Amino acid sequence: MIDNSKLERNGKTYLVIDKIPNSDFQYVYFMNEEDENDIFVRKEIQEENQKYLVGLADEQEFLTAMKLFQEKNK
């Protein structure tokens, strides 16, 4: 289930902890509500008035997303 604040994945609930705009999309940061060390990032894109979450292209994009997160949340 996806809504504005959480996502159910593999029987675990992940909360949205941040969103950072980046050109044509925004990065969405999720944290497991039971394990704060369990974090993942997705891109939220919009096509034809629909929003979708998609995976990151590679490790370099993940590092870029994490750098943006760290800079924003110093």
Q: What are phi and psi of 32, to 5 degrees?
A: -60, 130
pLDDT above 50 for 1: no
| Mean of pLDDT over the chain | 92
pLDDT above 90 for 67: yes
For 4-40, what is each residue's pLDDT tens digit? 688 898 899 999 999 999 889 999 999 999 999 999 9
| Tokens linked to 32 | 């497991």
pLDDT at residue 23, as a whole number: 86
pLDDT at residue 2, as a whole number: 47
pTM of the model: 0.88
